Structures are given as C-alpha cells and as structure tokens.
Structure 1
Amino acid sequence: MTRLLHIDSSARPHGSDRHAHGSHTRRLSARFVQCWQALRPQDPVVYRDVGQSPPAPVTGAWIHAAFTPADAREPWMREALAESDALVDELLAADVIVVGLPMYNFNVPAQFKAYIDNVVRVGRTFGFDRSRGAEPYWPLLAEAGKTLVLLGSRGDYGYAEGGRLGRLNHGEASVRTAFGYLGIVDVHGVAIEYDEFADARLRASIAEAEAGVDALAERLAAQRGQRAAA
C-alpha cells in the first residue's frame, strides 16, 4: 500500500476544468490523484488545502519551541508547534507527495512557503548536532523512499530548465531545495504554461500537461507496484 499526500496551494478555490477562472494546478493535481486511484484503489489519500487554509507563519515563539528539546517543552511550546506537528506527521506518513504549485511572481505562493517553513523541522525532518563540526546538519528522510510530484502553472512560457525564462523559475527550484534538504530527492514535475495568453497555445499546453500527468501517474504507480512485489 502506498500512501499519497495531496496538497493544493492555489488561491483559486476551483479547478480550471470546472470553473472559467479556476486553478490549473488544482486541475492537474486532482487528475493525478484520480489516475492513481484508478490504478491503485487500495492506496489511501490525505488531502491538505493550504491555498484555502494556509498554515500560520513561523514566529519567534515557534522557533524557540522548535529548538527546545521535546522533553523540555512547556505547554505553550507544544501549543505553538501543534499545527506544525500535524503537518510533519502527514509528510512522514506519505510515500508520494503531490503538490499543486502555481507560480506567483516567480516563486511559490506564500501559503506554500508557510507550509515549507512548518515542515522543515529540526529533530523531525532534519538533524542538527554541533558536535559534527563543519557539517552539523543532515537529512532525516533520505532513507524513506519518498517521491515528490510538482504540478505547476505559469502565466508566461519557457520557465522549464533551459527555457527562455528558466532562470526566473525560483518556485520549483526552491521547493526542490527545501525537500532535498530533508532527503526527498526523487522529484517529478509537469506544468501548464501560456495562461495569460488565453489562446490556442494555452489549450495545447493544457492538453500536453494532462497527457503528461496521466503518463507520470501510470509510471510512478507501476514503480510502486514493482517495489511492493520485489
């Protein structure tokens, strides 16, 4: 059994397949999960909508609590970390993390940055020990076998690596960096472009992305099945 964590981060509440001004990333993330469930209906899915219900941003109290050893935390510290603990628990339990990730001003939505800040947790998702000298940090999820799927959308075009605007795509790069820091390095992505053009190029990009999502879901589901059979 493979456990999926499905996260949407768009500020738009509906998918573009259901609403004229809906979210392309919600459209793609829902399609990926539906395709996966058709292939592997036994796999459970946990859904988290940070676009509509964003996590609280990190505060000084949060930092104080997170860097206090768990057995020394006061009640207010446990309360300050309660939401973060729930998000980390979901991440730790997941085998495949599917993220609807639109580009907002060349980076991730603030809602998803708040999510990242809540799950990059000392002692839970990365380790820290000053006695290690020059390399005090290490990933705690490197052996967990997790897969990250980033399903994006962009108003312009050419944001893929090596594209005309690839150097400006800080969103996917920053997510790969943050999750890689935790040890999640098996990352895959599909994106819709040309949204602001609203013409045949957008329609073609949607069709190509949907085909890419279907193929990716089928491939990753097959790989998980092969792992289970090995």
Structure 2
Amino acid sequence: MDLSTTLPKLASLEFNYCNRCRELLPLQNSTSLKQLEIWGCRGLTNLPGDMLHSCISLQKLRVTYCDNLISFPLDLQRMPSLLELELYRCPKLKTSMTPKGFGFLTSLRELIIGPFSDDDDDENSSIYNEFDWSGLISSSSSSSSSALRRLELFGLPHMESLPHQLQYLTTLTSLTLHDFGGIKALPDWFGNFATLEELDLFDFKDLQHLPSEEAMRSLTKLKSLSVSGSPLLQERCTPKSSGPDSQWSKVTHIQ
C-alpha cells in the first residue's frame, strides 16, 4: 500500500471487522500517518515486521480482538514518535513474536498489552517470558519527562504471579491489571510505585491479601484503588482519614 500518492495527508487509518482480510502489506511512504487501528480482523494471522517502517510520525497504534493473529514482530526502533501502543485480546499471538525495541520509544506514555499465547505448553509458565521488558524498563527510566505513565496488563486465570519486571516501572501513575486469577497475595514491591495515583485490579479470583501495610504506606500519591472480582479478599485498605487532607481523594472500592 503506497498511500503517499493517493492520500498524501492521511493521518488516521482504521481496519475494523474486516474478517475476510488475510494479509496487510507494509504501508509505504506513510510519513503523515499518526494513528492506526486494526480491530476485530479475525482473518489475520500475521502482520509483517516491516509494516510500519515508513510511519515515522505514528503516535497511536492499536491492534486488538484479532482472534487468529499469531505473529507481529514489529521493530519499534522505526517508530520514535509513538505515544500509545495497544496490543491486547489477540489470544493466539506468541510472546516471542510481539514487538521488540521498546528501549527506543522514549515518547511512549501508555501501553495496553496481553494476554499472549505462551511458547511453552506448561500451563504454569508465564505468558510474558519473552516480552521485551528490558527495553521497556530502560525507556521508562531514561528521564522523568519521557517515561511510561499508564500500563494496562492482561493475564490468564491460571497465572499465580505477576511478571516480576513490573516492579521496575517506577514512573507509572496508573496501573490496571486483569485476570491474574491464581494470585493469592500481591507482592510488597508494589511499594516501589511511589508515583502511582490509580490502581485497578480485575478478576483476581484467588486474591486474599493486598500488599503489606508498610508497602501500602509507600504509595503516598495513590488517589484511587479499585478491586473487582476478588471474593476471597480479606484485607480492607481504607483511607487514613476522611478529611480534605486524606491520602486518597476517592473512596477505595472493593467487590
């Protein structure tokens, strides 16, 4: 697809519910494109790694609900302007075939990912073993002005732990976690998230304990905590005071 000739100023491109689409070729000379969305294209199995090499102005990329997508080995080094990346609800996507080169995304602010298909058949193994955590961590810690702010991560009902690399994403202001159903207690390294303002947990069905009180006290900027789908949760974390100087400005919500 050479869009530079027919649509030289195209800034936004969407492929929604194109179920008969089997293949998307690289977007050639698409230097003006700022937003690309591929949603619900169930016929797609592979997206080429060089698909967006010419999209040097791309700021938002969303690929989601592509049920049969297996491979999208995107080279993120070619996308210096990317602010938001959403790659989720593609259940057959192999972790080893997801984008690499997060270390070059010094402008990335928002990331929504998972769950992925593990290359290992062991049901207890992590689906994020081959994800590019090192690159993501390095880009997030490069400077306070160019760091990841929002992360939304999807797991699987059997998973008994969170990816340990999460604890090093210390610039987050918003963290949302879904479907880590086997976790019984949240780790104390949650106390590392000193800048966190919002924490949302969904469908942690075996969760019984939040982090320790000491770890929770480290979250001095936390304004909102919401837990839903955790019927076994025993601890209740509430604001230290109800006045205007309360640590949290919003009511803690636990279901």
Does the pair score TM above 0.5?
no
- Between 1 and 2, higher relative CO (CA 8 Å, sep ≥ 6) is seen in 1
For the pair shown, the structure with the greater C-alpha radius of gyration is 2
Larger relative helix fraction = 1
**TM-score between both structures, scaled by the size of structure 2:** 0.27
